[in-house]
Amino acid sequence: MAHLRKSKSNSLLCDTKEVLLAHIKQDNHLTIALSGGIDSVVLLHVLATLSKQLQFTLSAVHVNHGISSNATLWSRFCCNLCHSYGISIYVAYLQIKKEAGTSLEAIAREERYRIFSHLQADYVVLAQHLDDQAETLLLQLFRGAGVKGLSAMPIVRKQVSDAAPQIFRPLLEVSRSRIEAYARQHKLNWIVDESNDSITFNRNFLRHEILPILKTRYPNYPKTLLRTSRHLSEASFLLDELAEIDNAYCRALGKLQVENLRKLSFPRAKNLLRYTLLNYGVTLPSTAKIENILNQLLSIGMDNQFHINLGDTEIRCYRGIIYMLPAKTPSQESKQCVWRGEAYLALPHLRGAIRFTQVKNQGISQQKILNEPITVRSRSGGECFTPACNRPRRSLKNLFQETAIPPWERITIPLLFCGEKLIWVPGIGIDCEFQVHSDEIGILPSWDPE
């Protein structure tokens, strides 16, 4: 029996080593997310053992959510445990408040990953295992999740920022029973979160009330559900590939076109919209909300404008072109900046800067701007402009419409004035009166929005 326990212990160590060898490199820095529970305590023991063999740097992070009255004791336990292994630990203290319409679990998870994204490491290592996979699949199923939501947790995945450490889950094919056996074999100590017994939480309800019944009829259900999740992961991957094909078809000049979106079947158009929102970092709304947005986009006329906010992103439509933009608009306060000949003029209130370069036969004539102050202003209305010497003077409003500049961009475009005369508009040109003559060195402005 002792030999059997030892072989199981070695088996978990060997299996984890194989996963590590497949994904990490020598001298990588791994930070384990240490809660103090049995799963992360076992993972810490395994990684501490393997770090010497595989020569990677190991540290730990503990997130103190401040929810439990025992949170301080748990933090102290994790610090003492890391000290016994001779590894450093960073403790992040949070104050989580429940918001209407969201679960405490979801808020805590979001805050944890926010902490993970700012760590200095190659990987943040999580102790999620085979049984966690099964529970997650069932929870997502009961929430009515789509293919992506039902997909298996990947062993390695990137976080939102490329600079952030990747999330690494080396125990995804290890069962809870094997983890518990390893902990007993090595006489490890861990903490028990009292909330784990509360069936008011959906995951605990599944774990304590539903899954034991399932196990009597389907003893291998975790592996079976893992297989199902992987099938769904493949389906999700194929849907993303289809979205990339449809994205290339529906875009012109880098923007989605409503006219081309209408040529797709409704499910394909919905798949493309969902894929686009995810690529812009939008937290996906419900299926009903996505379908409502899509229906509005598909029915919009060329002269109509569409505008809807989704968290920190807004979707706009102008002349059949779909725009994804940050929801926070720049300040619309009237502000005038004086240009004194510098090569770079920052305009933080318009979220951008103007660069001025000297070019032969191009740009603004330096002789014609000597006697008046040169200022940068936002549009106030009523401005007129003559970008072409062979055409009559035009209103700036008509020129913006002619060049299809969306209305929300017009208020953030910097206008260059000489005295009270408008002399340059980004994307349109330089007023005829102020253009250089041949062989003259002119000043060429260019607008660099953020």
Q: What is the pLDDT of residue 182?
A: 96
How far apart, in whole angstroms, are the C-alpha atoms of residue 57 and residue 49?
12
How far apart, in whole angstroms, are the C-alpha atoms of residue 118 and residue 113?
9
Q: What is the pLDDT of residue 101?
A: 58
- Residue 255, strand partner residues: 252
Q: What is the pLDDT of residue 334?
A: 61
Q: What is the pLDDT of residue 102?
A: 65
Q: What is the mean pLDDT of each run of 10 residues along the chain (450 residues)?
A: 49 95 95 96 97 95 86 94 96 78 74 92 96 93 90 89 92 95 96 82 90 94 94 96 96 89 96 92 87 92 80 87 76 75 90 91 89 89 85 87 85 90 91 88 90
Using CA atoms of 76, 78, 84, 86 in order, give the dihedral in degrees to the nearest 10: -110
Q: What Rg do the C-alpha atoms of the chain give, in angstroms?
A: 30
Q: What is the pLDDT of residue 3?
A: 44
Name the 3-class secondary structure at 123.
Answer: strand
Q: Return the closest-CA partner of residue 140 out of 126, 128, 129, 153.
A: 153
CA distances from 179 to 38, 90, 122, 199, 300 (A): 8, 25, 25, 23, 56
351's tokens? 């979220």
389's tokens? 């010497």
Strand ranges across the sheet with 321-326: 251-252, 255-257, 321-326, 313-318, 306-310
Q: What is the pLDDT of residue 199?
A: 85
Residue 399: phi and psi, rounded to 5, are: -65, -40
> DSSP code of 208?
I
Q: What is the pLDDT of residue 220?
A: 93
Q: What is the pLDDT of residue 404?
A: 83
CA distances from 148 to 186, 289, 344 (A): 38, 17, 46
Task: Identify whether the C-beta of residue 401 lies closer than 8 Å to the C-beta of residue 439.
Answer: no
Q: What is the pLDDT of residue 4?
A: 42
Sign of the alpha-carbon torsion through 375, 379, 383, 384 = positive
243's tokens? 């979205």
